[in-house]
Structure 1
């Protein structure tokens, strides 16, 4: 018959076996990883050298010249949640009618963050590309909540589309 003492002995035996198993696993890990992950002691020559990938610099002007405004129109759907294309119709963000070439923080009646209000110059395609890539890096302290558009071709297409609107 199963009584409390028998149950206690079985549970204690299982716990003890588990403890021995875990200690054995820990000891095996320590023995296997002796010396850390230093330099390899023996390297097999394969005849090929490891080559680091070269990051190819892409000229933004060339991409912009070959950009497709209709693809940019599809990309603008992300922007349309906060921005409007009609002249003078601000949303959460300022209207983007004629934004390419327009002076920064120049839309009347829109309350820009101090960072953007303090920037000089116009929204050139290169400036827009930098801002669209990462608004927080381009203008630290900006109130724009967009995380950024990483693909340079997408940025070029979007800027080509924005340039075709009211430009």
Structure 2
């Protein structure tokens, strides 16, 4: 094998890569796929008698039937920012949070949205806050996306009630 054959092989590989690069650029110009793509919303009419599509949840019954041990396991997601030993971390401590006014710990700097909420952390409010914090309190500094499962939220609330001291 002489140098001319090696040059041909290298040229063929480079030419193939160039063709693939050009195909990729042309496809990118025709088809745009990115993170800013909008999703499509399909409107669905609510069936008669279903309460407008909103599911009603009996939070008190869910919390009463909740498992504190499972709540402790789910709370590990919360423990990245919250403690239950009366010391603040990234978020305020959660000892005695159930029944406490929202944004009321004097030694923690809350967002204006939390300070001006004007309600208490009832199990019902905690349940809805844990589902989607930014929807429950627009402007909150809490960046957690929420707990989508009703059972997980009820278990965490039961766990927090068990740590009321």
TM-score by length of 1: 0.65
Answering whether residue 80 of structure 2 is matched by residue 81 of structure 1, we say: yes
Larger Rg: 1
Distance in 2 between residues matched to 1:121 and 1:58, nearest whole Å:
20
TM-fit CA distance, 1:101: 0.6
TM-fit CA distance, 1:114: 0.5
- C-alpha RMSD over aligned residues: 1.5
Q: Please list every run of 5 or more consecutive structure 2 residues that lacks an aligned counterpart in the other structure.
A: 1-46
Q: Structure 2 residue aligned with 1:117, among 115, 118, 121?
A: 115
Secondary structure in 2 aligned to 1:141? coil
Structure 1 ranges of 4+ moved more than 2 A? 54-58
Match of 1:64 in 2: 63
Distance in 2 between residues matched to 1:124 and 1:155, nearest whole Å:
13
TM-fit CA distance, 1:62: 1.1
- 1:119–1:58: structure 2 CA closer, same or farther, 3 Å change rule? closer
Distance in 1 between residues matched to 2:62 and 2:157, nearest whole Å:
11
Distance in 2 between residues matched to 1:82 and 1:130, nearest whole Å:
19
Aligned length: 114
Match of 2:94 in 1: 96
CA shift digits 1:141-166 (9 cap, x unpaired): 10001001111111000000000002
Distance in 2 between residues matched to 1:58 and 1:137, nearest whole Å:
17
